[in-house]
């Protein structure tokens, strides 16, 4: 700075008086070099909007701050395709996009990056867990940091800078589905220093040693940018009452020292016989001063979102001055800064000029003085030396506040920082969920996480025993799922089961079950797969810790009554909701084979795998019901049953359920003494077992037999329904 250089030169040539003259000349040069007009200090908005403009200033960060950064490198969006659909079925192609890019964060080294937000939502939590899939590398800005391999592979090693001295982050294949398939606006919680930073440290580093600080005040975070070091230092001056002292080779920032009382006889010194007032006072008009000062800052208790604190004087409040302070402060600290600036503006409206003998040359700009007979405290703004008389320009200094400022930071609007946990996966071979006859096997994939922050996972499927996998896109929104705590007993599928209940433990505490009335149950509410049985429940009672007791049950829904006897403790529980299920269609040739599904989410260290034998529940008709057998007078036993339809689960008044198959056909097997003695097919829902046929099969008049009946479908037969120990 010119003041420092010329002061040093003047002192070397002429001693203290020469130094004073040099300082005077230097101040004049400084006013031209560091003039208020045209300089640009840091602004609050510089840190909140991510830019990619060539030449954009990268701030120097101190302490802990939240910044948007500047995109310094990016690739085009990468498109991935996932095709679903089996043989003979229309295929569906789903597209997903990812991007790779680098963001500069700080023009000085940093320690770490903690939370990251994308479009205002958490992308990375405080524990370092990611909410969306991405690769990530952080370069701390050291002078020895290496070239990033991804950038080098795209740009060539010779054309890739290492950005030494600049802290930056690289995202590799950030999945963009959560952000409308575009690169989101990112903000980063950056830790540049491991504790609050003294204001003197900031001043020293920004000025490269030209300004030294001896200040007890510190700041949690600060971002220095703009085109003027002085602009950044002036922003810091609002955080503490300080004075600037010219020490020749350095400027010293320090707390305002104790005031020296100027003696009455020293005032009004002159070089000759002319008369001069002892003190010349001047006051600025109140209309030129602010009645209110509003400071915008970053509030750590609200995830470093912008805060606003005001200080007002009494009166109509005609003039408001707004200040952007790119610092992380407490609400109390910001309120105190606003009050300090307002008090300083009104105290500095008072100016004084005094003339002193040369023996007072030890008084320097930045020192505090008091005038005899006056209560105000003054700071020396400048001085001049002429004809052995020292002329001081004084400005008023505000008195210390009677009590510390207190303020409220406002209500936090932060998104909950929930971890994703591991992916939970279920592969369901369900009967048709809609009133539509499917022509190929259909499986359904449900997924969730062990923690409430789970969002989705990438799916891969295999129909060749895991020899190869193909992508199936992403999971749907999280399903409500868990496990049964104990085994559910057998029940009656035709009526409400009001006797039995079962306790289930849901996967995480964000999941919930609700009771529903009978009308809602008739319309399909609260359908769940417990083990292999589809049930509905009317009552769901929370019993603590994410556990629920479900009762008032409807059992064996959509033809799954065969599974009522298969329940066990620890079996799966999945609430069936189409919005939480991903369909996985298999070709007809896959019936009877094993399907595998692999899911990998952002919280998984290893992929989750589930497999099931493709039974074709979606393409099989449901088993017949209500089997009866009655012997006629001629000894013939007439066996009858009632068919059901995979397209006719709704109750129809005045009509039968639609067939749902190309034709009506049944296969009846009669077993005697554990052996199949007769198998027949019939186009109607009955069969006459004649005396002659009984004799041919070796079945006596009072022998017990078993009847197995299956309906023949277009693709596959139903599971056989058994009627045991029928005496004919």
Q: Domain spans of the chain?
A: 1-35, 49-82+97-191, 259-284+350-400, 423-613, 625-727
Those residues with Cβ within 8 angstroms of residue 69's Cβ, 6 or more apart along the chain or in another chain: 50, 58, 103, 104, 105, 168, 169, 186, 187, 188
Per the CB < 8 A criterion, the answer to whether 566 and 469 are in contact is no
State both tokens at 360: 């007072």
- Residue 308 has phi, psi (to 5 degrees) of -140, 125
For residues 42 and 373, give the distance between their C-alpha atoms in angstroms, rounded to a whole number. Answer: 42
- List, in order, residues 6 or more apart from 523 with CB less than 8 Å away: none
How far is 183 from 478, CA to CA, in rounded Å? 24
List, as one string, the DSSP characters of 647-689.
T--S--TTSPPP--SSS--EEEEEEETTEEEEEEEESSSEEEE
Distance separating alpha carbons of residues 115 and 436, to the nearest angstrom = 48
Specify the CATH number of the domain 259-284+350-400. Answer: 2.40.30
CA distance 609 to 13: 84
In angstroms, rounded to a whole number, what is the distance separating the alpha carbons of residues 565 and 572?
15
Strand-pair category, 389-397 with 423-428 = unpaired
- Beta-carbon contacts of 43 under 8 Å, excluding residues fewer than 6 positions away, are 225, 226, 324, 326
Give the pLDDT confidence score for residue 554 in this predicted structure. 95
Alpha-carbon distance of 226 to 588, in angstroms, equals: 68
12-24 residue pLDDT tens: 333 333 333 334 3
Those residues of the chain that have pLDDT short of 70 are 1-55, 82-92, 226-228, 273, 315-317, 402, 413-414, 650-655
Say if strands 320-328 and 292-299 run parallel, antiparallel, or are unpaired.
parallel
Burial class of residue 502 in the structure, from the number of CB atoms within 10 Å of its CB (0-12 exposed, 13-18 middle, 19+ buried): buried
Helix (H) or strand (E) holding 231: helix 229-237
Shared fold status for 259-284+350-400 and 625-727: no
**Buried-exposed string 553-565: b where 16+ CB fall within 10 A, e elsewhere:** bbbbbbbbbbbbe
Q: Which of 435, 446, 436 is nearest to 579 (CA)?
A: 446
Greatest C-alpha distance within the chain: 155
Phi, psi of 24 (to 5 degrees): -60, -45
Closest to 181 measured CA to CA, from 68, 84, 79: 79
Q: How many C-beta neighbours within 10 Å does residue 691 have?
A: 15
The token pair at 579 is: 């919005």
198: closest CA among 188, 190, 189, 206? 206
Residue 624 is classified by DSSP as: P
- H-assigned helices in 278-381: 331-347
Residue 15: per-residue pLDDT: 35
Cα 484–chain centre separation: 32
Residue-level pLDDT at 36? 39
- Reported as type and span, the H/E element at residue 340 is helix 331-347
Q: Which residues pair with 138 in a beta bridge?
A: 169
Instruction: Check: CB of residue 68 under 8 Å from CB of residue 187.
Output: yes
Which helix H or strand E contains 29, and what residues bound it? Answer: helix 2-33
Q: What is the 3-state secondary structure (H, E, C) of 183-219?
A: CCCEEEEEECCCCCEEHHHHHHHHCCCCEEEECCCEE
pTM of the model: 0.75
How far apart are the two ends of the chain, measured CA to CA in Å?
Answer: 115
Q: Are the C-beta atoms of 239 and 228 separated by less than 8 Å?
A: no
Q: Could you tell me where the beta strands, DSSP code E, fall in 68-131?
A: 70-74, 78-84, 92-106, 112-118, 121-124
Q: How far apart are CA 307 and CA 329, in angstroms?
A: 9
* Architecture of the domain made up of 625-727: Sandwich (2.60)
Decide if 535 contacts 554 (C-beta within 8 A). Answer: yes
| Token pair 């960060």 in the structure block, residue | 61
Angle between helices 229-237 and 199-206 (to 10 degrees): 170
CB 589 within 8 A of CB 525: no
Residue with structure tokens 């936090």?
412
Query: Using an 8 Å Cβ cutoff, are 645 and 622 in contact?
Result: yes
User: Among residues 217, 229, 222, 221, which one has the least CA distance to residue 255?
Assistant: 217
């Amino acid at each position: 700075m010119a003041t420092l250089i010329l002061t040093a030169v003047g002192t070397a040539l002429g001693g203290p008086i020469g130094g004073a003259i040099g300082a005077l000349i230097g101040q004049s040069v400084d006013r031209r070099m560091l003039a208020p007009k045209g300089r640009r200090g840091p602004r609050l908005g510089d840190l909140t909007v991510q830019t990619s403009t060539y030449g954009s200033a990268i701030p120097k960060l101190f302490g802990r701050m939240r910044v948007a950064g500047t995109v310094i490198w990016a690739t085009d969006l990468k498109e991935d395709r996932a095709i679903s659909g089996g043989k003979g079925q229309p295929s569906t192609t789903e597209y997903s996009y990812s991007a790779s890019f680098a963001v500069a964060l700080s023009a000085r080294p940093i320690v770490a990056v903690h939370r990251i937000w994308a479009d205002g939502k958490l992308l990375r939590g405080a524990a370092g867990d990611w909410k969306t899939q991405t690769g990530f590398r952080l370069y701390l800005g050291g002078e020895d940091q290496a070239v990033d391999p991804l950038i080098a592979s795209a740009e060539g090693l010779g054309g890739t800078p290492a950005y030494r001295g600049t802290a930056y982050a690289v995202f590799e294949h950030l999945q963009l589905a959560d952000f409308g398939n575009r690169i989101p606006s990112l903000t980063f919680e950056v830790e540049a220093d491991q504790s609050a930073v003294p204001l003197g440290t900031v001043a020293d580093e920004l000025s490269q040693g030209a300004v030294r600080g001896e200040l007890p005040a510190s700041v949690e975070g600060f971002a220095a940018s703009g085109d003027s070091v002085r602009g950044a230092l002036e922003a810091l001056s609002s955080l503490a009452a300080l004075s600037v002292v010219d020490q020749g080779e350095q400027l010293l920032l320090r707390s305002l020292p104790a005031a020296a009382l100027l003696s009455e006889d020293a005032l009004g010194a002159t070089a000759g016989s002319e008369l001069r007032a002892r003190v010349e006072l001047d006051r600025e008009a109140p209309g030129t001063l602010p009645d209110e000062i509003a400071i915008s800052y970053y509030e750590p208790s609200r995830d470093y979102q912008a805060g606003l604190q005001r200080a007002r004087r009494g009166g109509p409040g005609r003039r408001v001055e707004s200040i952007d302070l790119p610092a992380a402060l407490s609400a109390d600290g910001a309120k105190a800064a606003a009050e300090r600036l307002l008090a300083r503006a009104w105290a500095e409206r008072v100016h004084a000029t005094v003339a002193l003998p040369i023996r007072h040359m030890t008084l320097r700009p930045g020192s505090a003085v008091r005038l005899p007979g006056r209560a105000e405290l003054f700071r020396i703004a400048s001085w001049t030396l002429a004809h052995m008389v020292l002329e001081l320009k004084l400005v008023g200094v505000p008195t210390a506040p009677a009590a510390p400022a207190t303020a409220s930071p406002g209500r936090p609007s932060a998104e909950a920082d929930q971890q994703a946990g591991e992916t939970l996966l279920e592969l369901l071979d369900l009967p048709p969920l809609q009133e539509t006859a499917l022509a190929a096997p259909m499986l359904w994939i449900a997924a969730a996480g062990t923690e409430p922050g789970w969002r989705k996972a990438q799916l891969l499927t295999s129909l060749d025993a895991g020899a190869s996998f193909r992508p199936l896109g992403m999971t749907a929104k999280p399903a409500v799922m868990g496990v049964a705590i104990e085994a559910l007993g057998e029940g009656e599928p035709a009526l409400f089961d009001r006797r039995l209940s079962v306790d289930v433990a849901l996967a995480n505490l964000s999941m919930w079950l609700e009771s529903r009335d009978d009308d809602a149950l008739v319309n399909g509410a609260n359908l769940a797969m417990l083990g292999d049985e589809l049930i509905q429940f009317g009552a769901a009672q929370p019993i603590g810790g994410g556990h629920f007791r479900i009762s008032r049950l409807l059992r064996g829904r959509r033809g799954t009554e065969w599974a009522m006897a298969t329940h066990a403790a620890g079996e799966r529980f999945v609430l069936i909701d189409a919005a939480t299920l991903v369909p996985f269609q298999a070709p007809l040739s896959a019936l009877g084979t094993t399907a595998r599904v692999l899911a990998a989410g952002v919280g998984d260290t290893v992929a989750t795998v589930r497999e099931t034998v493709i039974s074709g529940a979606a393409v099989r008709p449901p088993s017949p019901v209500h089997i009866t057998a009655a012997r006629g007078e001629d000894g013939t036993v007439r066996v009858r049953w009632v068919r059901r339809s995979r397209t006719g689960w709704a109750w129809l008044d005045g009509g039968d359920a639609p067939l749902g198959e190309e034709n009506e056909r049944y296969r009846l097997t009669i077993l005697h003494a554990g052996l199949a003695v007769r198998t027949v097919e019939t186009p109607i829902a009955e069969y006459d077992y004649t005396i002659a046929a009984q004799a041919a099969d070796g079945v006596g008049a009072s022998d017990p037999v078993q009847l197995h009946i299956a309906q023949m479908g277009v693709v596959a037969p139903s599971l056989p329904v058994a009627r045991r120990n029928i005496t004919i």
